[in-house]
Amino acid sequence: MAVSVPDHPLDTPDAGPVDVVAAPPAALGDDALAAPDDALAAGDDALPGPDETLAGPDETLAAPDESASAPAPAGRRPRAVRLTKDLDLLRGLAADPTGEGLGVVRLATQIGRDKSQVSRSLRALVDTGLVERDPATGRYHLGLELYALAAATAQRRLLSVAPDVLRHLAGELDETVHLCTLHGIDVLTLRSESPPTRATAWGAWEGETAPAHATSAGRVLLAGLSPAALRDRYRAAELAGVAPRSRVQSVDELNAAISEVRATGISVVREEHEEGAIGVSAPVHDFRGERVAAVNVSGERRVMEDRVDDVVTRVAAAAARLSRLLGAHTTADGELPRRPT
């Protein structure tokens, strides 16, 4: 089902992030420098430019209590300039399309910097844990410390920007809406918002869990897993009888149901978890394109069935808006780019 994403007149807070994807080892390339001391070929491009002064191993990110406006000691660059250059390196590594890491030469070429300066700055960033160096290939990639910093604020960011989006959607649909995440083989409701005009039978479910395989929110989130990862997650689970109304009673049936969700990007479940209920869910992505939550509306089937297409469109729009608030990139027509799973 093709879903159009209308604009909503909500204020837009800043974006947010999180998570680690291990880069596969790559063959040693010309741009991979092996030794930690980075013995670069001699030549004019190995020397610092006229506007750059070589910094010693103590060149790290600026301390938060040091003013960038203070006069720089002789022979050292202002810390604000060094911080900007370090951020350029991090952005360059983040933009690596291969996921295999970048060598000094390629990264320096990509961001238009001198090789020797890039090499020294990378070594300082490795010391902080913000960057890691693959000893086999000599290539650099973003480090675990950077992801840990992002992870520390990810859920807080999600919960801080979600209420306005959920309240707007609840008002549009006149139904209670939920923000859900995956919790093992269950789906956990983090936040519920009811319409301002009435309470609904499917009210606040905050803190409650439900079988992921039998719910629209759960299937949307499970669709972010590969078939192999999905099978591994449910290796010891017995689906038959857990949610007797669900048409999914085995991992094979779950894989088939989720393949439909991957094709449409939306999940609609009718009376598989609760009699008389219909659930519609769409995924929320972070800045990496990973599914971190689902926007869900659950209501009486007899009320929602006739307008299910409109519900799907509005739920998808709310999820896309929340994704953008978390830093997800969208295509020219406003759709979130589809990622292989």
Q: Mind listing the domains of the chain with CATH numbers?
A: 44-142 (1.10.10.10), 153-325 (3.30.450.40)
Interatomic CA distance for residues 270 and 276, integer angstroms: 8
Spatial neighbors of 34 by CB under 8 A, at least 6 apart, are 28, 138
User: Residue 285 belongs to what H/E stretch?
Assistant: strand 277-285
Euclidean distance between CA atoms 147 and 37, whole angstroms: 26
> For each of the chain's 341 residues, which pLDDT tens digit applies?
444 444 444 443 343 333 433 334 333 344 433 334 443 333 333 333 433 333 333 333 334 444 444 454 544 556 677 788 888 888 888 888 777 889 999 999 988 999 999 999 999 999 888 899 999 899 998 888 777 776 666 677 888 899 999 999 999 999 999 999 999 999 999 999 988 877 655 556 788 899 999 999 999 999 999 989 999 999 888 887 788 889 899 999 999 999 999 999 999 999 998 899 999 999 999 877 889 999 999 989 999 999 999 999 999 999 999 999 988 876 544 455 443 33
Rounded Cα–Cα distance for residues 282 and 58 (Å): 47
The model's pTM is 0.59
